[in-house]
Chains A and B, each alone.
Chain A
């Protein structure tokens, strides 16, 4: 059971849930999400960005990077993360980079997409085990972190809210019997 969302349901009237995840980082306005240079090397940054687009690629809607997730990643990793979170993130990222050399004999970024996907799958396999409910806000290694950051950055971006999802700023009413078929997407409000 994923407590965060369930607690959010409760929080409507019960209140009191403070998420430790990066979800609070989305409260920082776009213009103020200024990454600190040098925390990520150019290669690390490029690989993290590539992974974001593997996680949410362009389909009939834009990809993660097209939605501005790259800037979100830079900001959270270099500014928002605590040192211990950054350490876990980089350890997993560097492990993947080394595996890229040892297994495929090349830089991650130069590999064909199918190999990049295989490597990211291997990264996922090292972490999540068989229980999909084992994911946690600040748990897991590189894969869980890059996935959480990508998903959070994407769905809370303007693209994620208005193109991937449906944003209705002023619903004007509540309808508890509304049909999903009438919207066909997630609400963004």
Chain B
């Protein structure tokens, strides 16, 4: 146990520097609180910390390792991500050094950053609002517990967040996918527009629009509009996509109220049952191993779904192995993700005179159309949306489907191949008690903290909606005249969509939920959890925008309560 630091100058501690931690720090510091941010990962500077940004492809930088063996040995989980390569490896968790537990037949992919900025650096930036179709679903269907908030509670905070992060997109006037404060949309290409028209022509209740993405099409203070160079996940020194590093952390620093400590792993929280407050945060320096304790008036846990819940589960009291935050028994349970890697793709004949210019960091979106106006009688509840894109096949594919070699072969590859269109569904996973994370009874990590162990399985509802995802993707591609249609429905792995959420759900009843309607712990008035752990259901849209809105809203509430003397 380390020494207790003097903490007079720290009003709030924020654990985690990712998408929600950045927002908590910005909001708290702008409201005049002295903020200390604790980040488990390595330091990283905006711009200079980005590897390979704008480097020509033939000079790609890495550290000279032999990546294939290295990945297998040290990054076997992280290297499954599309955003993992030699330019981003320093953002990611080293799986060998930071193990977790799961059974071979019951795998879980915990994709995890290990750097300041967290996964806000390599997120896919898709930003969609929830609607009351989502917030009311649990109550209507008697699944899980009722959300303690509705769309009207979050709508102003969505607007507040969108204006700051910058979301480009097209207003559509859909109840199930509310419009936001959009910058001008990126373009759909000629084939995407063809497919969109064909889909709505055949299925009047379905629309295809350009993705809503936290990538700027118009400049914001200190951030330039996107220059369409392509590999966003390497980092963007012009701040053209939203990340903590480009946006919220600079805003927090500008207040003069913000301090960041990297390499600071939060082990657990100390709880005072008499005052019902978190009295200290226990921290281990990941470089020196030194233990420290901090205290503050407000604690914001923004360490990611699994990270925050691991801290809470490890926060037991002296004579118990039960977390102070687990009166409900819901802590670590009702974990969700999204289903994906189901859908179809096909070749779209024609349009051969067109060849898009620039690397658009965005695709198309087909909002949910299933069970929108009551139960469609399809054998599953809730729904899914599609993401995808159209493009032309290039040398790497065409070289394989073009027999032969020599001058004619080389000449044949000068032209792009045919257009393809791909549609992949993201589907809602219901909250099941058995989908869970817990602390392993004996396995510990290198800091002596119990490892997380996962159990995650997919239910009938998920299997059924995925069958529909594939069937409808094929039907829509057929409507667009596609040939060589290739349906896909690959094996599902929990966590693989990197939308893991739940495990410390919000709800009115302390006997059922960990957090209240303001992301405040039922058990501790000065503790707020505002990342994905708070979710009581999963919707089918990408969740990060909702986490950010919940965070800004929770800070507003927390500071008001603090000033009123209620915390």
Residues of A within 8 A of B (CB): 1-7, 9-18, 23-24, 26-30, 32, 54-57, 59, 61, 79-80, 82, 117, 120-121, 124, 128, 132-133, 135, 147-148, 151-152, 155-158, 160-161, 164-165, 167-181, 183-189
Q: Inside 8 A of B360's CB, which chain A residues have their CB? A: 12, 174, 176
Q: Which of B152-160, B227-235, B254-262, B289-297 contacts A (4 or more CB under 8 A)?
A: B227-235
Q: Which of B186, B357, B389, B486 gathers most chain A CB within 10 Å? A: B357
How many B residues touch A, CB cutoff 8 Å? 84
Given A173-B228, A186-B395, verify A13-B124 contact (CB < 8 Å): yes
* Complex Cα spacing A112 to B435, Å: 67
Contact of B402 among A29, A80, A132 (CB under 8 A): A132
Given A27-B85, A54-B406, A56-B410, verify A14-B359 contact (CB < 8 Å): no
Contact of B58 among A7, A17, A30 (CB under 8 A): A30
Q: Which of B76-84, B374-382, B524-532 contacts A (4 or more CB under 8 A)?
A: B76-84
Q: Inside 8 A of B211's CB, which chain A residues have their CB? A: 13
* Complex Cα spacing A26 to B12, Å: 46
Contact of B394 among A82, A178, A186 (CB under 8 A): A186
Q: Inside 8 A of A2's CB, which chain B residues have their CB? A: 393, 397, 400-401
Contact of A171 among B229, B347, B496 (CB under 8 A): B229
Question: Nearest Cβ in chain B — how far from A174, in angstroms?
Answer: 4
* Complex Cα spacing A32 to B61, Å: 10
Is B67 a contact partner of A24 (Cβ separation < 8 A)? yes
Residues of chain B from 55 to 87 with CB closer than 8 A to chain A in the complex = 56-62, 64, 66-68, 79-83, 85-87
* Complex Cα spacing A57 to B405, Å: 9
Is B358 a contact partner of A152 (Cβ separation < 8 A)? no
Q: Which of A2, A9, A188 gathers most chain B CB within 10 Å? A: A9
Interface: B413 (CB within 8 A): yes
* Complex Cα spacing A135 to B402, Å: 10
Question: Nearest Cβ in chain A — how far from B284, in angstroms?
Answer: 32
Is B399 a contact partner of A151 (Cβ separation < 8 A)? yes
Question: Nearest Cβ in chain B — how far from A157, in angstroms?
Answer: 5
Q: Inside 8 A of B486's CB, which chain A residues have their CB? A: 1, 3, 6
Q: Which of B35-43, B269-277, B303-311, B348-356 contacts A (4 or more CB under 8 A)?
A: B348-356
* Complex Cα spacing A57 to B401, Å: 19
Interface contacts beyond A2-B400, A18-B80, A165-B395: sample of 10 additional A-B pairs, CB < 8 Å, sorted by A:
A2-B393, A16-B81, A17-B82, A55-B406, A61-B410, A128-B403, A158-B58, A172-B358, A174-B187, A175-B187
Q: Which residue of A lies closest to B425 (CB)?
A: A14
* Complex Cα spacing A27 to B87, Å: 9
* Complex Cα spacing A17 to B420, Å: 17
Given A26-B60, A171-B227, verify A13-B416 contact (CB < 8 Å): no
Interface: B363 (CB within 8 A): yes
Some 12 contacts from A to B, beta carbons below 8 A apart, are A6-B397, A13-B424, A14-B341, A14-B388, A23-B396, A29-B59, A156-B57, A167-B57, A175-B358, A176-B193, A176-B356, A178-B355
Interface: B189 (CB within 8 A): yes
Interface: B411 (CB within 8 A): yes
* Complex Cα spacing A173 to B496, Å: 32
Q: Inside 8 A of B359's CB, which chain A residues have their CB? A: 171, 174, 189
Interface: B484 (CB within 8 A): yes
Q: Inside 8 A of A14's CB, which chain B residues have their CB? A: 82, 340-341, 387-388, 424
Q: Which residue of A lies closest to B498 (CB)?
A: A15
* Complex Cα spacing A155 to B399, Å: 11
Q: Inside 8 A of A6's CB, which chain B residues have their CB? A: 345, 393, 397, 420, 422, 486
Contact of A79 among B66, B86, B355, B405 (CB under 8 A): B66
Question: Nearest Cβ in chain B — how far from A164, in angstroms?
Answer: 8
Given A10-B389, A13-B362, A13-B387, verify A178-B357 contact (CB < 8 Å): yes
Is B340 a contact partner of A4 (Cβ separation < 8 A)? no
Is A174 a contact partner of B83 (Cβ separation < 8 A)? no
Q: Inside 8 A of B358's CB, which chain A residues have their CB? A: 168, 171-175
Question: Nearest Cβ in chain A — how far from B400, in angstroms?
Answer: 4
Is B354 a contact partner of A180 (Cβ separation < 8 A)? yes
Question: Nearest Cβ in chain A — how far from B502, in angstroms?
Answer: 21
Interface: B54 (CB within 8 A): yes
Q: Inside 8 A of A158's CB, which chain B residues have their CB? A: 56, 58-59
Is A170 a contact partner of B230 (Cβ separation < 8 A)? no
* Complex Cα spacing A173 to B192, Å: 18
* Complex Cα spacing A155 to B396, Å: 9
Ranked 10 nearest A-B pairs via Cβ: A176-B189, A15-B82, A5-B397, A171-B358, A174-B358, A178-B357, A180-B355, A135-B400, A55-B405, A13-B363
Is B407 a contact partner of A30 (Cβ separation < 8 A)? no
Given A5-B393, A5-B396, A179-B354, verify A15-B81 contact (CB < 8 Å): yes
Residues of chain B from 130 to 187 with CB closer than 8 A to chain A in the complex = 186-187
Contact of A59 among B126, B187, B405, B407 (CB under 8 A): B407
Contact of A16 among B353, B391, B394, B496 (CB under 8 A): B496
* Complex Cα spacing A168 to B396, Å: 19
Interface: B361 (CB within 8 A): yes
* Complex Cα spacing A43 to B562, Å: 79
Q: Which of A14, A55, A133, A168 gathers most chain B CB within 10 Å? A: A14
* Complex Cα spacing A108 to B192, Å: 50
Question: Nearest Cβ in chain A — how far from B406, in angstroms?
Answer: 6
Residues of chain B from 217 to 256 with CB closer than 8 A to chain A in the complex = 227-230
Question: Nearest Cβ in chain A — how far from B60, in angstroms?
Answer: 5
